Structure 1
Amino acid sequence: MRITDLLKKEAIALNETPNSKSEALQILIDLHASAGNIKDKEEYKAGILAREELGTTAIGEGLAIPHAKNKAVLKPGLAAMTVPEGVDCDSMDGAPSNLFFMIAAPEHGGDVHLEVLANLNVMLMDPVFRQRLLEAKTSEEFLAVINEKEIEKFGEPEKEEMKGYRILAVTACPTGIAHTFMAAESLELKANQLGYTLKAETNGSGGAKNVLTKEEIEAADGIIVAADKNVEMARFNGKPVLKVKVADGIHKPQELIDKIINKEVPIYHHSGEDSGDGNEENESFGRQLYKHLMNGVSHMLPFVIGGGILIALAFLLDDYSIDPANFGTNTPIAAFFKHIGGTAFGFMLPILAGYIAMSIADRPGLAVGFVGGSIAATGMTLTAETGIPAGFLGALLAGFIGGYLVVGLKKLCDKLPDSLEGIKPVLLYPLLGILLIGLIMCAINPAVAGINTALTDGLNAMGSGSKVLLGCVVAGMMSIDMGGPFNKAAYVFGTAAIASGNYDIMAAVMIGGMIPPLAIALSTTFFKNRWTEKDRKSGLVNYIMGLCFISEGAIPYAAADPLRVIPSCIIGSAVAGGISMAMGCTLRAPHGGIFVFPVVGNVLGYIIALVVGSVTGMLILSFWKKPISN
């Protein structure tokens, strides 16, 4: 490894004047910290002092090369310092030291420090070279002198062809739109800064991109799985795997990378289902339920969005005056859209339940959950001749009951002879699972349907004031964590309301999610003195993200200044949600932003709500933020 690969200009200090050896060592330790080579200065300093106790590293001729190898080091690195007047460092020849190189080596980094130490000693034997370093006026000149000497002694650096990636990552969020790609970018950028090679596979709404190959997985040191839904894990069997939330991929990239590099990640053992092996974090039961729910929601969304928009187009193109009772199917074109949209929409509950169950019990759970969701949709019971649909809530229960039912069946079937192993997934699990989920759902459908009916009646019976308050709450929730649990809870409530025939709640939910990026974009445009040049340039992108209903565009701003950005966005979203409710705006499609405005009920009122909410958020945010100097 070459000296110029390890020594950066941020870790070079020229013409320093320390008064003691301790002070000189501290300056070098601070340089390492500034260059991002170490994570804990005190722990690294303890390693340096422990090495000094074994014998001085001031080797004479004005040279001192202190070094330490411990877990405080994030990556191999060098720090350099010149002290023209010299400082007493207990040198072997008794002379003061005026040229320092401090080596930082990771605890599990092999013998890199010995290689660097050997190369330094060879180069520093030349007194002319040492003098040129002492006379360097800038960090750039200091590095140039070293580079010239390295080429003289060791030749030109070899250009090695990239062979695989040291770290791999998989990112995925429930909607597969923003968090997925933000986490991938954050991990790749941080790895590049730390000097590591990293490839990130994104499991987005359009499918997996940049897919990891078998060869890359075999060659990698470890894999980071930053996901809020289940991803394909069997391919990682036998490799170190760190499983975390997708938000950690965005906000804690260095911490995750360090765990892989420092070999602090357990080996993942695949057992036919994602049992959580290899997860560095012990997930709470609530966290597990959230992931299972989001897995169902992410697979359900394409059916709801596509079907909902087509149904909305049917009403847009129909003639209400022909037959009010059949509004939506009075004209052939309207009937065409209504039938196709209704077919897609009809898969909503079975898909939701099926993929929740699959998330819990792997593939054997899919059929069981799918059948349970279908029974919830049809409302089949043990006694009634007509169905009593259990709706969205029934499908949720079917998914979770079906998943854990299959997990129980797997444990029971483990006691069967090994000769029956092959028929378990094709006969025993589907047969017993579907039978049991059918009996369970038929039994609970009436009770769940009663709850659904009470909720629907309660929403329909709300007065205008109560509905406005509800709109403020659900819209404000969309801005609390912008893609996190609060945001997803409001979003799931909105989609559930669509399934129950209440379309005004979804309108408030979507407009609440559009406000944060728009409020920030407006503030960066009209209150430029509150933002840096980089913030203003990024603000332009937020116009697009806000209008497309991608709340995550506001996350970088919220992370940088949460006490001002988040409350401003919550207030702006709540105002927009309340106005949307007050004006009777409705929405049958749970996504799409301005692209679904043509099918919004009372689109003029919706635009007014969007403008007022965005301006309100902008004004509050711009008032709270103080002007900054260039």
Structure 2
Amino acid sequence: MKITELFSKSGVKLGVEAASQAEAIDVLVDLHDASGNISDRDKYRQAVLDREAQFSTAVGDGVAIPHAKTDAVVRPGLAAITVPAGVDWNAPDGKPSDLIFMIAAPEGQANVHLEVLAKLSMLLMHEDFGAALRAAKTVDKFLKVIDDAEAAHDAEQAEKERKAAEAKAAREAAAAAAAPAADSALPQVLAITACPTGIAHTYMAAENLEKVAEQMGVTIKVETQGSVGTKNALTAEEIAACRGIIIAADKGIELSRFNGKPLYSTNVSAGINDAERLINIIMNGEAPICHAEGGASAPAASAATEGMGSTIYKHLMNGVSHMLPFVVGGGILKAIAFLLDTQGMGTAAYGSSTPLAAFFNLVGGTAFDFMLPILAAYIAMSIADRPGLAPGFVGGWLAKQGFTLGYLATAMDAEAQGALISGGFIAALFAGFAAGYLTLGFERLCDHLPESLEGIKPVLLYPLVCIFLIGLVMLALNPIFAAINSWLTGALNSFGTGNLVLLGAVVGGMMSVDMGGPFNKAAYVFGTGMLSAGTTSAQIVMASVMVGGMVPPIAIALSTTFFKNRWSAADRKAGIVNYIMGLSFITEGAIPYAAADPGRVLPSCIIGSAIAGALSAGFGCTSPAPHGGAWVTPVIGNPLMYLMALVIGAVVACLILSFLKKPLSAEEAGLTK
């Protein structure tokens, strides 16, 4: 399949005028629609925006490659535009993008087309190719430039493969003759590139690393882990002979095969924009040694390239993301138990006085009981990989149960035993990080053991010693965490209405500060963590957190609906989707608007979210569920006033935003007849 076979003439538009990224995306989506590539325009467009929300698809030098893989695509296709004036696409080099390709990839179909798209991504790394496309005056000329470049690329690749085959034959011949220089043809540097979607950035990073290495006189081999699977896989012989490995990836990469080799891990964008520095790190011997026995995997970027704060945040989010399904499922099932058990209301058996209610309470409670152990387990696993999982889980369970050394001392005397007090969320956080770093430290110590013990380390030594150590630590420290947890729970329960209103305003406003970033996540983690206490005050905090996160998308949707002259036609079309996203507690739906106009959007949404959070707390609204938005209203305490708090907060934010934004001309707003 050729690249141009993914185009139709109706899928290319030259000399487009687009004032914003959103307008350019709308033009490209319309081209796909006109070409018959998509069945649901809005769903495909939203998938593209969701991909952009992860990080910009601009790759620098005026090129952007927005893309999405979704079931809204009926056949693989490409659309392209040139924008002479350029569009701000948050490119790493700060330059506007004037050559934009949009990829539509279908779910669940053969991936032959992805190889073609990978080839296009690699071609775009060459400046002369981009210049020729920008200079094209007609669609036919534009497509011919692609055909010619593809033919040249295929010929070049064939020549590379021929030379690689000759080099392999030479190595094999040298090895057969016991020549000492047999490894001279092996690459000096190895690399792996990967991104979450594996469509464009994976291959662009690979192409740039190869191009820069050639300019530096360094031999390199790059393995790509894209949607088409692993290509150009690194061999054990190459790994043994290389000077080091570069991991340029935004997803986890299996590292056990690189154990003991110099390895530098970073994000995929660095492979595209900073290849020379990465290669120099390996060639100058500056990369740390990889310690990755037992199936360890690389995170998106190593601690060497991140600050301490972002490293801790990444480990925490790994625990929270794995914990949430237990909290969501367990919390809602427990809430349903109380909804069903009307006859037990007011009694000690409320929630379990009927078989059906007891079933929901048992299953939901069981799921909820795993919340803290799972949090700790996956924090530890993020730090120490698989060897950290078991110690983290055990540490989290001990934290939840509140076992202490004092309890063990009275284990044989039931009368002398005191009540166990859980260390709660804070103790589980500590257990996760402690288990992770204890395991990591023990792994380092085991590096000095004889090689004959290599096989038993992950199956015997790591779990045995690390579970013992975390058990000792948690039993010793649980009394401290129990005291902290008891104080925090008591403080929340003793809060008067005024204090809870203030707390609701703070956590609600934080949800809008960065809409999915660290402030948003801090408020959310605080809310979900409080749920483990099982108190009414904790559920009031969770309700304020959730309503605060629902306000921004709904405020945007209201403004685009009722203040049309403040927004472009493309903004208004996208605004409709924000009703659903807001009601679903997906704050990120407002990100494209906040990114385009942060000075007006963020203050408006923060004020609206703070008001909604405060009103929710003031009305005494409770939420046993940490997610679901309006769809879990049946389990919300005081649901009508909760919805009222949401409406008031969203309307206030909408009015402030619409007042701050200057009206557009009828032509700019697309309101002319």
One of 455, 459, 469 as aligned partner of 1:426 = 459
Q: Shift of residue 262 of structure 1? A: 9.5
Q: After TM superposition, list the pairs within 5 Å mapping 1:482-521 onto structure 2.
A: 482-501=515-534, 502-521=538-557
Structure 2: tracts of 5 or more residues without a match? 8-12, 17-57, 64-92, 100-121, 158-190, 211-224, 236-244, 408-416, 669-673
Q: After TM superposition, list the pairs within 5 Å mapping 1:265-284 onto structure 2.
A: 271-272=291-292, 273=296, 279=302, 282-284=305-307
Q: Which residue of 2 aligns with 1:310?
A: 333
- Conserved 8 A contact 1:585-1:603: yes
SS at match of 1:520: helix
Q: Which residue of 1 aligns with 2:626?
A: 590
Q: Distance in 2 between matches of 1:432 and 1:297?
A: 26
Q: Which residue of 2 aligns with 1:215?
A: 231
Pair 1:257-2:272 in alignment: yes
Post-superposition Cα deviations, 1:240-286, rounded to whole Å, max 9, x if no partner, equal 98634xxxx9xxx6x76334699769679753145779759721112
Q: Distance in 1 between matches of 2:301 and 2:345?
A: 62
Q: Distance in 1 between matches of 2:146 and 2:444?
A: 64
Q: Distance in 1 between matches of 2:435 and 2:539?
A: 29
Q: Which residue of 2 aligns with 1:361?
A: 384
Q: Distance in 1 between matches of 2:641 and 2:543?
A: 11
- Conserved 8 A contact 2:564-2:572: yes
Scaled by the length of structure 1, the TM-score of the pair is 0.66
Q: Distance in 2 between matches of 1:507 and 1:476?
A: 13
CA, structure 1 residues 340+288, in 2 after alignment: closer, same or farther (shift >3 Å)? same
Pair 1:234-2:258 in alignment: no
Paired AA for residue 378 in structure 2: Y
Q: Distance in 1 between matches of 2:135 and 2:482?
A: 73
Q: Distance in 2 between matches of 1:484 and 1:155?
A: 41
- Conserved 8 A contact 2:344-2:353: no
One of 424, 427, 443 as aligned partner of 1:394 = 427
Q: After TM superposition, list the pairs within 5 Å mapping 1:425-444 onto structure 2.
A: 425-444=458-477
SS at match of 2:394: helix
Q: Which residue of 1 aligns with 2:592?
A: 556
Q: After TM superposition, list the pairs within 5 Å mapping 1:540-555 onto structure 2.
A: 540-555=576-591
Q: Shift of residue 628 of structure 1? A: 1.4
Q: Shift of residue 232 of structure 1? A: 3.9
Q: Which residue of 2 aligns with 1:600?
A: 636
Pair 1:331-2:351 in alignment: no
- Conserved 8 A contact 2:255-2:298: no
Pair 1:225-2:249 in alignment: yes
CA, structure 1 residues 455+263, in 2 after alignment: closer, same or farther (shift >3 Å)? closer
- Conserved 8 A contact 1:319-1:330: no
- Conserved 8 A contact 2:422-2:482: yes
Q: Shift of residue 314 of structure 1? A: 0.4
- Conserved 8 A contact 1:514-1:546: yes
Paired AA for residue 577 in structure 1: G
CA, structure 1 residues 412+556, in 2 after alignment: closer, same or farther (shift >3 Å)? same
Q: Distance in 2 between matches of 1:116 and 1:523?
A: 39
One of 145, 169, 190 as aligned partner of 2:194 = 169
SS at match of 2:617: helix
Larger Rg: 1
Paired AA for residue 435 in structure 1: F
Q: Distance in 2 between matches of 1:528 and 1:345?
A: 45
Q: Distance in 1 between matches of 2:627 and 2:431?
A: 25
- Conserved 8 A contact 1:266-1:278: no
Pair 1:474-2:507 in alignment: yes
Paired AA for residue 225 in structure 1: A
Q: After TM superposition, list the pairs within 5 Å mapping 1:147-166 onto structure 2.
A: none
Paired AA for residue 461 in structure 2: L
SS at match of 2:250: strand
- Conserved 8 A contact 2:250-2:300: no
Paired AA for residue 378 in structure 1: Q
Q: Distance in 2 between matches of 1:367 and 1:445?
A: 19
Q: Distance in 1 between matches of 2:656 and 2:532?
A: 36
Q: Shift of residue 430 of structure 1? A: 1.0
One of 266, 278, 282 as aligned partner of 1:243 = 266
Pair 1:298-2:321 in alignment: yes
Pair 1:374-2:397 in alignment: yes
Paired AA for residue 540 in structure 1: I
Q: Which residue of 2 aligns with 1:525?
A: 561
Pair 1:573-2:613 in alignment: no
- Conserved 8 A contact 1:522-1:615: yes
- Compute the RMSD of aligned alpha carbons: 4.6
CA, structure 1 residues 599+215, in 2 after alignment: closer, same or farther (shift >3 Å)? same
Q: Distance in 1 between matches of 2:450 and 2:264?
A: 32
Q: Which residue of 1 aligns with 2:368?
A: 345
Scaled by the length of structure 2, the TM-score of the pair is 0.62
- Conserved 8 A contact 2:395-2:431: yes
One of 459, 474, 492 as aligned partner of 1:459 = 492
One of 285, 288, 293 as aligned partner of 2:311 = 288
Q: Shift of residue 215 of structure 1? A: 2.5
Q: Distance in 1 between matches of 2:149 and 2:514?
A: 54
SS at match of 2:195: strand
- Conserved 8 A contact 1:240-1:266: no
Q: Shift of residue 616 of structure 1? A: 0.8
SS at match of 1:324: coil
Q: Which residue of 1 aligns with 2:652?
A: 616
Q: Shift of residue 156 of structure 1? A: 12
CA, structure 1 residues 155+548, in 2 after alignment: closer, same or farther (shift >3 Å)? closer
Residue identity (%): 51
SS at match of 1:214: strand
- Conserved 8 A contact 1:241-1:265: no
Paired AA for residue 515 in structure 1: V
Q: Distance in 2 between matches of 1:310 and 1:37?
A: 49
- Conserved 8 A contact 2:545-2:613: yes
